[in-house]
Copies of this chain bind each other. A is one copy, B any other.
Amino acid sequence: MWKSVGNGTLEGVSSVSDIDPSKLTITTSDTLKPIPPSETLQFGVTKTDHMLVISFDPENGWSAPEIKPYGPISLDPASSCFQYATNAFEGMKAYLGPDGEPRLFRPNMNMARMERSVERAALPSFNSQALLSLIKRLVLLERRWIPTEPGYSLYVRPTMIGTRSSLGVSASDQALLYVICLPTGPFFLGASKEISLLGVSDTVRAWPGGTGCFKLAVNYGPGFQPLREATKRGYSQVLWLLGDKITEAGAMNFFAVVERDDGDLDLITPPLDGTILPGVTRQSIIDLANAHTEGKTPLPNIPPSQKLYVHEQDLTMTYLKRWHDQGKLIETFCVGTAVIVGSVTKIGHDGKDIVLDASKVKHSLTDAFLERLSAIQVGTFPFENWSVPCNP
């Protein structure tokens, strides 16, 4: 763990306390909120009754964890999280299984990524397995908030913010780690399920040597002005380009499906070169595609004889247009914890649109991945222990 060596710098030594789930205190809310009808839920708006809070200071380390009524955070105006964006987070989803038990989807991947993000933000390190056991405890307490309709779930947002209250331009040696829960429905509620993307290269989301592969707050705010311009022009999200190269779509990973001459399919997504978030859903799509092709676990409604060849490789607008002109670009889709899998049917670039007609696709991979992932997440299709019960 950490000790402060002055000027906000922490040095790794085993001198202060790590997160200790056995010290958890739970204070439940006196009045529980009414649960709104699921069909009214907008992503990220409705919060549950409670939150998990743990604080860090360099003298005492991580505090005893608290689950307490959801409420505001009070911080000095000079805090590092306001001034210097020393903020990391994660996005996870909890589901109610067919046994009525809450479960999380591949939570260890989120925990490992959060450790990396926190290190990149020079925030205090933490035991992510201890955090995960507390998240499970919180989800169990908020069980009544988990929607059961298809496409609905309880979104879980672990967040760590720097709380050092000095303007000195260096690492925050104080932090607040909190977890909030928000019942949520399909990501693009009310809007078309089909995503349209505007390719943007004059503003750039991530760069080699930047922070694109970490889940940091800094990767999001700078995208909002370009998103506003894209929505004005009728597109639902930005397709982030680095020159000609496709990187991400909005806050999602991007896949293209290209048909081979023999009818098999190439499934192409940008490689983890430092500019791409290593998405849990991204990895799961790759794993499911490989499991299909290996004959282990065929995808629903995809002929087992149709092979899917995964390529984590550079993907350019030039190639995308060429494949589309040649009639080989079958599908494009975005993936992420919030959206799960979303069909992309229009991509604007340089004043022209690539338009894909999803209805013409004989065996939709987008649908197959969404159906299979959703079944694994809810726990009706067991696969590789990806769906992890919250009860010990």
Distance in angstroms from A226 CB to nearest chain B CB is: 9
- Is A373 an interface residue when CB atoms closer than 8 A count as contact? no
- Is A217 an interface residue when CB atoms closer than 8 A count as contact? yes
Distance in angstroms from A167 CB to nearest chain B CB is: 3
- Is A93 an interface residue when CB atoms closer than 8 A count as contact? no
Q: How far, in angstroms, from A78 to B78 measured CA to CA in the complex? A: 19
Q: How far, in angstroms, from A233 to B96 measured CA to CA in the complex? A: 51
Say whether B209 contacts A78, CB under 8 Å.
no
Q: How many copies does the complex hold?
A: 2
Interface residues on chain A, size class: 35 or more
Say whether A44 contacts B218, CB under 8 Å.
no
- Is A13 an interface residue when CB atoms closer than 8 A count as contact? no
Which of A118-126, A131-139, A293-301 lies at the interface with chain B?
A: A118-126
Residues 226 to 265 of chain A near chain B (Cβ within 8 Å): 227-228, 231, 250-251
Distance in angstroms from A180 CB to nearest chain B CB is: 5
Say whether A77 contacts B51, CB under 8 Å.
yes
Given A47-B78, A87-B85, A204-B208: A120 and B167 interface contact (C-beta under 8 Å): no
Say whether A121 contacts B43, CB under 8 Å.
no
Contact sample, A vs B, 12 pairs, CB 8 Å cutoff: A7-B231, A45-B166, A77-B180, A78-B180, A81-B82, A84-B217, A121-B221, A121-B224, A169-B227, A170-B224, A201-B209, A207-B210
Say whether B227 contacts A171, CB under 8 Å.
yes
Say whether B204 contacts A210, CB under 8 Å.
yes
Q: How far, in angstroms, from A292 to B142 measured CA to CA in the complex? A: 69
Given A72-B76, A85-B218, A89-B83: A168 and B44 interface contact (C-beta under 8 Å): yes
Q: How far, in angstroms, from A334 to B42 measured CA to CA in the complex? A: 48
Say whether A182 contacts B167, CB under 8 Å.
yes
Q: How far, in angstroms, from A204 to B178 measured CA to CA in the complex? A: 29
- Is A202 an interface residue when CB atoms closer than 8 A count as contact? yes
Residues 79 to 135 of chain A near chain B (Cβ within 8 Å): 80-87, 89, 119-122
Against B, the Cβ 8 Å flags (1 = close, 0 = not) of A174-185 are 000010101000
Say whether A225 contacts B180, CB under 8 Å.
no
Q: A74-B74, A169-B251, A218-B222 are in contact. List 19 more A-B contacts (CB 8 A).
A: A9-B228, A9-B231, A42-B168, A45-B167, A77-B178, A81-B82, A82-B161, A83-B87, A83-B89, A84-B221, A84-B224, A121-B221, A155-B167, A157-B167, A171-B227, A201-B209, A202-B209, A203-B209, A210-B222
Cross-interface CB contact of A227 among B45, B87, B170, B211, cutoff 8 Å: B170
A residues contacting B by CB (< 8 A) are 7-9, 42-45, 47, 51, 70, 72-78, 80-87, 89, 119-122, 155, 157, 159, 161-162, 166-172, 178, 180, 182, 201-204, 207-211, 216-218, 220-225, 227-228, 231, 250-251, 338
A170, A211, A251 — most chain B CB neighbours (10 Å): A170
Distance in angstroms from A164 CB to nearest chain B CB is: 10
Residue of B nearest to A86 (CB): B221
Distance in angstroms from A329 CB to nearest chain B CB is: 26
Say whether B44 contacts A167, CB under 8 Å.
yes
Q: How far, in angstroms, from A220 to B79 measured CA to CA in the complex? A: 13
Q: Which residues of B contact A203 (CB under 8 A)?
A: 209-210
Q: How far, in angstroms, from A197 to B210 measured CA to CA in the complex? A: 20
Q: Which residues of B contact A83 (CB under 8 A)?
A: 87, 89, 157, 159, 217, 220
Q: Which residues of B contact A170 (CB under 8 A)?
A: 224, 227-228
